[in-house]
Structure 1
Amino acid sequence: MKFNTVFFDFYNTLATFYPPKEEIQKLSAKKFGLNVTKEGIIKGYLKADEWMSKEIAKKPIRKLSPQDKLSFFTHYETLILREDHPNIDKNLASKIWNNIYAYPTRFKLFDDVKNCLEELKNDKIQIGILSNIEINSSKLLESLNINHLIDFMVTSSEVGKTKPAPEIFIKALNLAKTSPKKTVHIGDQIESDIYGAKNVRIEAILIDRQNLHTNYKESLKINTLNNLKNVLSKI
């Protein structure tokens, strides 16, 4: 294998919310008399997350004023709900988002993650996480019981830039003491993960767990982390 380091995105690559975000959306929408479908919510999240990736690259959420943050997430929620309700009222979307925001959630690893990380560690591959989430990385990794499998985690709040900005990838490369040609980055966002990695000449792999990017051909695409070691050995 030509790689000695693997970078992972965190949210929707290694972990997701529990209870599932689709379930929370349905419960919150129903509270306000709105019926939504799982399929519509999944497609809505795809569009909303793509929009968010582009927006936070311009200005991180932490730098938004309270009013701008409310407007940001109102639009985000509107994009999610539009798949089922094209003419969704923004005031209603805002109320639904506020209800979702107050809903108790936690991060949960996808079922294929621990085995994948253990296989990489057994092969002495360095593992880093690069994320735009603003959270205490040490506590997060401990809560998921993967701190012993991760060499480092770089967050946008630490660097002051969000993916796809090169700074977050460069810091990770420096921590790993490796080069782009010996590194691969795996993430679920085309804008922040794939373009961000490629811009600093890191090999990029899109993980598309729900097979939403059916026509994607810009880089290698996988649907699971199972057998990742074999995938990497063939690149």
Structure 2
Amino acid sequence: MHRFRLVTFDVSGTLLNFRRPPQTLYSEAASLFGVTAQPSDIALIFRAQYDKLSREHPNFGQKTGIGWKKWWNLLVVDVLEKATRCQYNRSTYDSVAGYLINAFENGDCYAIAEGAQDLLSYLQQTNTIIGVISNYDERLHCVLNSLDLNKYFNFVVTSYEAGIEKPSPKIFEKALALALKIDTHVTPSCSLHIGDKVETDYVGAIGAHWHCALVTKSSDELCRRGLQRQGVLPNYIFRDLVELRAKLPHLWERDIGEDAKKF
């Protein structure tokens, strides 16, 4: 029996993975509208455009009021315009964007991570409060529902709906407040967040005085050492959710206060 009363999950890269690389999905969607965009070109451009738009309109446009649909439309159009050197008219790019926005509203683009359902079932059987804390827009509810994962969660907190993004500790505090409505004995020290990114998941959880387990998708020792240099405790680093499920009942206490000083 594990000792956590509350366990929350990040989604992209932790609970769910893309069935195929996003650049491939973008390229295939574009081809449906007569647009030729190579996946390699899309991949080169995507991250820079994503980061730029996130700076200009944080939290998928929630902060500036443009809304998540407009935000994703702008991103897709910007990426495709650069990948194709503006060879097509704006209405065509808008059509591709609309198609992709709808496509990512269901679970067809995603695969459930190995070990996820076994871990979720185990947590549910042990009467653990289970939640989601994700930097995502409100489509996440439809995605989880279409994959039949919503049945495991007591609550889902998206950054867009909360108005706060990870790594802000405030989004973890919102999740804790929801858990307290179910179990008044929940505290940060008995709360665990599971994610895959130090800069959002680990920093945010530790800042809120929670525990945090990182899923690395790698058994490479160099990767583990790199995470440890960033302050992640070695016993909270896992290759995948299968390993985490096996070791969860044996995680030992740590001094959260000392960990929090690292950030």
TM over 0.5: yes
Provide the rounded CA distance (Å) in 2 between the counterparts of 1:75 and 1:61.
Answer: 15
Q: Unpaired runs of 5+ in structure 1?
A: 79-86
Residues 15-56 of structure 1: per-residue CA shift (max 9 Å, x gap): 244565242144367765554459x94x987x5699479748
Query: Tell me, what secondary structure is at the counterpart of 1:62?
Result: coil
2:77·2:94 contact (CA, 8 Å) conserved in 1?
no
**Post-superposition shift, 1:121?**
1.4
Cα separation, partners in 2 of 1:25 and 1:64, compared to 1, 3 Å: same
1:165 pairs with 160, 168, 179, which one? 168
2:114·2:240 contact (CA, 8 Å) conserved in 1?
no
2:144·2:150 contact (CA, 8 Å) conserved in 1?
yes
Which stretch of structure 1 is more off in the superposition, 100-109 or 2-11?
100-109
Cα separation, partners in 2 of 1:16 and 1:229, compared to 1, 3 Å: closer
2:7·2:130 contact (CA, 8 Å) conserved in 1?
yes
Provide the rounded CA distance (Å) in 2 between the counterparts of 1:223 and 1:209.
Answer: 5
Provide the rounded CA distance (Å) in 2 between the counterparts of 1:185 and 1:57.
Answer: 27
Which stretch of structure 1 is more off in the superposition, 11-20 or 221-230?
11-20
The aligned counterpart of 2:261 is none
Provide the rounded CA distance (Å) in 1 between the counterparts of 2:52 and 2:213.
Answer: 20
Structure having the larger proportion of residues in helix: 2
The aligned counterpart of 1:130 is 133
AA in 2 matched with 1:234 = L
The aligned counterpart of 1:229 is 245
The aligned counterpart of 1:185 is 193
Provide the rounded CA distance (Å) in 2 between the counterparts of 1:148 and 1:34.
Answer: 38
Give the TM-score of the pair, scaled to structure 1: 0.71
Residues 116-158 of structure 1: per-residue CA shift (max 9 Å, x gap): 1001212222211112212166544432212321111112233
Provide the rounded CA distance (Å) in 2 between the counterparts of 1:188 and 1:222.
Answer: 10
2:45·2:83 contact (CA, 8 Å) conserved in 1?
no
The aligned counterpart of 2:255 is none
Count of matched residue positions in the alignment of Structure 1 and Structure 2: 225
**Post-superposition shift, 1:76?**
8.2
The aligned counterpart of 2:16 is 15
Cα separation, partners in 2 of 1:29 and 1:143, compared to 1, 3 Å: closer
The reply on whether 1:202 has 2:210 as its aligned counterpart is: yes
Identical pairs, percent: 23
Give the TM-score of the pair, scaled to structure 2: 0.65
Alignment of 1:78-89 (within 5 A): none
Cα separation, partners in 2 of 1:119 and 1:65, compared to 1, 3 Å: closer
1:216 pairs with 212, 227, 247, which one? 227
Alignment of 1:92-103 (within 5 A): 99=96, 102-103=99-100
**Post-superposition shift, 1:164?**
1.6
Cα separation, partners in 2 of 1:27 and 1:151, compared to 1, 3 Å: same
Q: Radius of gyration: which is bigger?
A: 2
Q: Unpaired runs of 5+ in structure 2?
A: 181-185, 253-263
Query: Tell me, what secondary structure is at the counterpart of 1:61?
Result: coil
**Post-superposition shift, 1:170?**
0.4
AA in 1 matched with 2:251 = K
AA in 2 matched with 1:161 = I
The aligned counterpart of 1:82 is none
For the aligned residue pairs, the C-alpha RMSD in angstroms reads 4.2
Cα separation, partners in 2 of 1:110 and 1:44, compared to 1, 3 Å: farther
Using CA pairs under 8 Å that are at least 6 residues apart, name the structure with larger relative contact order, 1 or 2.
Answer: 1
AA in 1 matched with 2:242 = N
